[in-house]
């Protein structure tokens, strides 16, 4: 069976920071993006596409606020829905053409998608999600004073407005995505999905927030039983000590390594951190499946294991500190009865006695190289 992908497109797949923030400039960038995606499709992969909308929804909101004396401003969730529409339109138009150029007459459809969030999510008290364009430090101070915006410096690229980014809990239109999967490439959860909360009477109500598209893509990947979560961004590999003389690219990340680097603050809060966290969640809850973080132009090579930063996949490639589900006899690499089937490189730790390690999904490895037995959590 062909592998199922959920592709998360970063902002650079939609808009070049060196071009004007116009619809025409965006479409030009999207056409290049579509050629890469079409090539993935030509190789036989099945896929759904999730895209960000930080820059676009910020501009839509700014336009609405600027014209408030002429027409009533649109609520934030409506601005998000508008961004889904026009970004989806650009992607499906460009991708349909790119597929046809490869003799693939395959439908592409954009699905307006709502995603349920928790109204009590602490993110509403701590905005972190960048939206809109970049500002100088002086412009940022002026916006904070005049409009009450919250702005933060974004990975050395300038200052951006930030808004709440609650975690996605449920994809409202997931049933439609599943129905469409075998018949079309679906563009869904655009901008992370339109954030809504569920009222006691069952109705949905939009809220002012932007869901991180990487977390939405991870949830979608779980819901459609994807084999690979492919997160595309500006860089070819995840790095530690980013921007420093001792910067180091990472070919592979174990869950334990990713957690440690995240705790050390190695990944930018509004940039690389959510990508790594989404990858961690996917492979932790789906043992044996892969998450890959790489650049758009290296996506095919990354799928073939030639580049990018990979997490999960073949357990034989994992380090002994990987988080998995199940229990193994570390002496023989055999599963213990009733606990699943996992081989683990921890069996190479000669000193383990009585040669058993219990692994529980989400908790890490118990006693990776210790000399005593371990009790279940």
Catalytic residue flag (residue 11) = yes
Cβ atoms of residues 170 and 178 within 8 Å: no
Residue 323, classed as helix, strand or coil, is coil
- Give φ, ψ of 269 to 5 degrees: -60, -40
Q: CA–CA separation, 262 vs 255, rounded Å?
A: 10
The one catalytic residue in 12, 320, 333, 364 is 12
Catalytic residue flag (residue 213) = yes
The one catalytic residue in 53, 96, 213, 270 is 213
The one catalytic residue in 96, 129, 237, 298 is 129
Catalytic residue flag (residue 350) = no
Residue 194, classed as helix, strand or coil, is strand
For 331, other C-beta atoms within 10 Å of its C-beta total: 13
For 88, other C-beta atoms within 10 Å of its C-beta total: 24
Catalytic residue flag (residue 348) = no
Count of residues making up the chain: 377
Sequence-separated (6 or more) residues with CB below 8 Å from residue 51? 8, 9, 13, 14, 87, 88, 91, 187, 190, 191, 213
Q: CA–CA separation, 91 vs 197, rounded Å?
A: 28
The one catalytic residue in 275, 281, 289, 298 is 275
Q: CA–CA separation, 229 vs 20, rounded Å?
A: 31
The one catalytic residue in 10, 11, 133, 192 is 11
Q: CA–CA separation, 250 vs 237, rounded Å?
A: 6
Catalytic residue flag (residue 190) = no
Active site residues: 11-12, 129, 213, 275
């Amino acid at each position: 069976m062909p592998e199922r992908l959920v592709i998360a497109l970063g902002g650079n797949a939609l808009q070049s920071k060196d071009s004007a923030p116009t619809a025409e400039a965006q479409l030009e960038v999207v056409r290049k993006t579509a050629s890469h995606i079409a090539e993935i499709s030509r190789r036989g992969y099945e896929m759904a596409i999730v895209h960000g909308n930080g820059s676009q929804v910020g501009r839509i909101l700014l336009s609405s606020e600027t014209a408030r004396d002429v027409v009533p401003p649109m609520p934030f969730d409506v601005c998000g829905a508008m961004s889904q529409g026009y970004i989806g339109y650009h992607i499906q138009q460009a991708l349909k053409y790119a597929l046809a150029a490869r003799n693939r007459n395959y439908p592409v459809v954009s699905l307006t998608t709502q995603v349920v969030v928790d109204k009590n999510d602490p993110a509403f008290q701590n905005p972190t999600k960048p939206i809109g364009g970049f500002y100088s430090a002086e412009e940022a101070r002026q916006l904070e004073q005049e409009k009450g915006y919250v702005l933060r410096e974004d990975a050395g690229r300038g200052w951006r407005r930030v808004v709440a980014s609650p975690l996605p809990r449920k994809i409202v239109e997931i049933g439609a995505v599943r129905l469409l999967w075998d018949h079309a490439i679906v563009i869904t959860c655009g901008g992370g999905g339109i954030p809504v909360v569920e009222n006691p009477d069952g109705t949905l109500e939009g809220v002012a927030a932007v869901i991180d598209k990487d977390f939405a893509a991870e949830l979608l990947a779980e819901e459609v039983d994807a084999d690979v979560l492919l997160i595309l961004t500006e860089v070819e590999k995840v790095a530690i000590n980013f921007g420093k003389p001792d910067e180091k690219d990472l070919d592979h990340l174990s869950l334990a390594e990713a957690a440690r680097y995240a705790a050390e603050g190695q990944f930018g809060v509004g940039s690389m951190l959510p990508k790594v966290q989404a990858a961690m969640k996917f492979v932790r809850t789906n043992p044996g499946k892969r998450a890959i973080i790489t650049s758009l132009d290296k996506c095919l090579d990354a799928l073939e294991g030639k580049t990018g930063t990979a997490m999960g996949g073949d357990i034989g490639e994992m380090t002994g500190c990987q988080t998995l589900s199940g229990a193994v006899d570390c002496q023989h690499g055999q599963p213990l009865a009733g606990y699943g089937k996992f081989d683990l490189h921890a069996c190479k730790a000669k000193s383990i006695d009585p040669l058993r390690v219990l692994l529980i999904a989400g908790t890490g490895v118990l006693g990776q190289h210790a000399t005593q037995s371990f009790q279940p959590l």
